[in-house]
Structure 1
Amino acid sequence: MRARLTLLVAATTVLVLLAFLVPIALLLRQVAENQALSRADDVIRTIVPLAGGDEATLRLVVTAQEVPVTVFLPNGAVIGAPAAPTPAVRLAAARGRALTVATAAGRELVVPVVGASGRSVVRTVVTSAELTRGVSRSWLTLAALGIALLLLGLLVADRLARTITAPITQLSDVSHRLAGAELTARAQPSGPPELREVAGALNHLATRIQDLLAAERERVADLSHRLRTPLTALRLEAESLRDPDESTRIAAAADGVARAVTAVIQQTRRASAASASATPPVCDATAVVTDRVAFWRVLAEDTGRPVTQSLPDTPVPVAVAADDLAAALDALLGNVFAHTPDETPFTVTLTPRPSGGALLTVADEGPGFPPAASRRGTSGANSTGLGLDIARQIATSTTTGGGPDGAVVTLEIPGP
């Protein structure tokens, strides 16, 4: 925008300068011609009264002039600058009329004078150099003035464009900072009224986002307090079971739910700026997947589901928090248990990538995905429909496949 505004002002200034300076330049040339012709006319007027009188006096006056003057006498004699009679001289002598004729050398002025012995003709020539004396210098002055005015106009245009573009650049910078989770960024209202209004609207939007996030954190915190009481009661009920294995399993499940809720609270309350500038988390995908498969294997045995796991023997570092990876795998395995009948086999595969990261694949032999499974918040089984979306949040890309004979979900997890 700054360059376009400067170019617009430059074009406008050039047009205005041409509209004024070109006529002035032509007028200066005309004035110079008129002055040269006027000086020559004054010289001729000085000589005309003497043309019919004494030749000695006439010769003295003619030779004293700075402008070359020639007087053609009726007897054929020539006084002054040597010159042959031109057609203009002969025409003036014949008709008795003063003439101004344009020639290759400049302008020729001839004036007939009637005396006692006949008709004399006074002639002088104004050269082209005399006609244009001072014109070049005047044109150079006008050109310098035009260039100075153009540069001044460009300077003013640049300053004006900067006052307009600087607030726009600031607004863009603030919007990028807000997009980078720096919610404390604010725009300084400046520039034209329209830009100040946009800056105020952007600041209001940022404040509104902060308020909504604060309210969301409070709601999550309230949810945590609401869940702790039933979780505590569930754990007490589990401890009162007579079967130690059942008691341990249910207590572990209750502890897992409590840990998940706590992780959600901590992640939600994390400061936006700190999370934006913090070092990306790293975990061992092999250890996390091994732990979660072991957790779900117990439930799989209760429902008669064969479990197959293919995990590497070495650690696989990924740029994902352990809790997030566990939550994603739990969401995928939870979908297997929720949307497939008992005794349906499933497989969990973790494959390291040569460029870093890993591929996590969960496959089952159930009925496959419903048509709406790819849309967030939509499910064909009366659930929230967020299972796949939770898994997608930790992956750079997600691939879903399969058909009526099963479903396959592959997460591409980035490396550190």
Structure 2
Amino acid sequence: MRRRLTLLVAATTGLVLLAFLVPLAVLVRQVAADRAVGRADNVVRAIVPLVGTSDSSELELSLSGASAPVTVYLPDGRVLGAPAAPTAAVRLASAAGQSFTVDGAAGREIVVPVVTAQGTAVVRTVVPRAELTRGVVKAWLVLAGLGVVLVLLGLLIADRFARTLVAPIADLSAVSHRLARAELTARASPGGPPEIREVAGALNHMAARIQDLLRHEREQVADLSHRLRTPLTALRLEAETLRDPGDAARLAAAADAIERAVTAVIREARRRGAARPRTGCDATAVVTERVAFWSVLAEDTDRGVRRELPAAPLPVAVPADDLAAALDALLGNVFAHTPDGTDFAVSLVARPAGAVLTVSDAGPGFPESATRRGVSGSGSTGLGMDIARQAAETAGGTMRVESGRDGGARVVLELAGPLTSP
């Protein structure tokens, strides 16, 4: 914008100067020529009265003292003053009895006829071309220099003016980028024209509003955690009263999982608004632990579980909590959207850029539209698939929903590998 404004002012100033200086340059040349012709004409007018009233010796003396070369052609054919052959203008002036000013190769010729008792004499002088343009080049150079100075001055003023416009806009852009990087304390400095100051105020108001909303959200999440502690404590106490140690352990583990999930939500809410470091985990360990957890429920509902997990650790650029939440969401969908007795499979395989986690089942399947946040066909919140998608995409991966070979659902999470130090 600054460059465009400067170029616009330069073009405008240049056109204005051309419209002013070109006619002025022509006028300077015309004035110089008129001044030279006027001086020569004055010399001729001073000689004319002497032609008919003075003798030849006095006329010769006057011609020799003239400031310009003057030639007098007498009626008897004699030529006094500067020697020069009669020209066509001289002959025409003698015959017609009229004065002429003619442009020739040598310059501008001035001829004036004088009627005497012996006949018509002609007084002639020539203004050289150098005299017609004396001082013109110097004047043109002065005008050109003045034009350059005016253009440079206009560019300087335009640059200063453009800077006052661009600086507030650049500040707005920088603050916008800082807000996009979750630096919610960034504020724009109101400056520049009223319109830009209004935009800066609106941006600051929006940033403050976002801060208030996030603060309110964190307070809501903290309040949710406080409300859940009492039911979780009661659930643990209830688990301790169960006679079957296995059931008690599973119930306690479920309560611990809920508490971990709530704690993760609170931690995520508290660090929201700050840059989140990318951490990784061992996908083999996380998937193995979560499949083992869900296998107990699968056994109770007569579901077969097929596992294809690597024996070696498989690092990925997804935090352990996020990967566990994503897998829980996918397996939870299997139990929620397929009838009891439906088998499912979980596979984890390595790839050059990370790993591929696949969850498939032998159920009726579901459309790809179910991956949209809040979309569910069974009355649930529809957030499970979105949790899995965010876990993959946040770490640079992707999620795909496909149809399995037996017609069931097949969800593929492509997980990026861990970051390496440069």
Query: Which residue of structure 2 aligns with residue 189 of structure 1?
Result: 190
Alignment pair present for 1:305 and 2:306: no
Deviation of 1:334 after TM superposition, in Å, equals 0.5
The residue correspondences of 1:352-367 to structure 2 (distance < 5 A) are 352-355=350-353, 357-367=354-364
Q: How far off its partner does 1:374 sit?
A: 2.9
Which amino acid in the other structure matches residue 295 of structure 2?
A: R
Q: Which residue of 2 aligns with 1:319?
A: 317
SS in 2 for 1:51: helix
CA distance in 1, matches of 2:247, 2:367: 34
1:21 maps to a residue whose letter is: L
Gaps of 5+ in 2: none
CA-to-partner distance for each residue in 1:124-145, whole Å, 9 max, x for gaps?
Answer: 1112211111111111111111
Q: Which moved more, 1:45-54 or 1:150-159?
A: 45-54
1:13-412 equivalences in 2 (<5 Å): 13-52=13-52, 53-270=54-271, 272-273=273-274, 276=275, 279-355=277-353, 357-370=354-367, 372-395=369-392, 396-402=397-403, 405-412=407-414
- Aligned to 1:150, what secondary structure does the other structure show? helix
What CA distance in whole angstroms lies between the structure 1 residues aligned with 2:417 and 2:367?
A: 31
Aligned-pair CA distance for 1:370:
3.9
Q: How far 1:288 sits from its partner (Å)?
A: 0.8
The CA distance in 2 between the partners of 1:14 and 1:288, in whole Å, is 72
The question of whether the paired residues in 2 share the 8 Å contact of 1:348 and 1:361 is answered with: yes
Letter aligned with residue 137 of structure 1:
K
Identity of aligned residues (%): 68
Q: How many correspondences in the alignment?
A: 412
TM-score normalised by the chain length of structure 2: 0.95
User: Which residue type is aligned with residue 415 of structure 1?
Assistant: G
Provide structure 1 residue ranges, at least 5 long, that are not aligned to the other structure.
Answer: none
The aligned amino acid for 1:317 is P
- State the alpha-carbon separation in 2 of the partners of residues 6 and 35 from structure 1: 42
Cα distance in 2, alignment partners of residues 279 and 127 from structure 1: 88
Which letter maps to 2:59? Answer: L
Q: Deviations over 1:337-369 (max 9, x none)?
A: 1101111111111122213x2111111111101
Q: Deviations over 1:302-325 (max 9, x none)?
A: 111111111122212112211111
C-alpha contact (below 8 Å) 2:33/2:133 kept by paired residues: yes
Distance 1:10 1:401 in 2: 62
Q: Aligned pair in 2 of structure 1 residues 381, 370: CA closer, same or farther (>3 Å)?
A: farther
SS at match of 1:373: helix
AA at the equivalent of 2:349:
T
Rounded Cα–Cα distance in structure 1 between residues aligned with 2:224 and 2:304: 36
When the two structures are superposed, what TM-score results if normalisation uses the length of structure 1?
0.96
Determine the C-alpha separation between the residues in 2 that align with 1:373 and 1:313: 33
Give the whole-Å Cα distance in 2 for the aligned partners of 1:239 and 1:397: 42
- Determine the C-alpha separation between the residues in 1 that align with 2:368 and 2:378: 12
Give the counterpart letter for 2:363 in structure 1.
Answer: G
Structure 2: distance between partners of 1:369 and 1:65: 116
Please state how far the C-alpha of 1:271 moved relative to its aligned partner.
5.1
Task: Quote the Cα distance in structure 2 between the aligned partners of 1:2 and 1:412.
Answer: 46
Q: Aligned pair in 2 of structure 1 residues 248, 361: CA closer, same or farther (>3 Å)?
A: same
Give yes or no for contact 2:368–2:401 (8 Å, CA) kept in 1: no
Indicate conservation of the 8 Å contact 1:372/1:380, yes or no: no
Aligned AA for 1:365?
Answer: A
Could you report, residue by residue, the CA deviation over 1:150-188 in whole angstroms, capped at 9, with x for unpaired residues? 111111111111111111111111111101111111101
Deviation of residue 412 (structure 1)?
1.5
CA contact (8 A) 1:370 1:380 kept: no
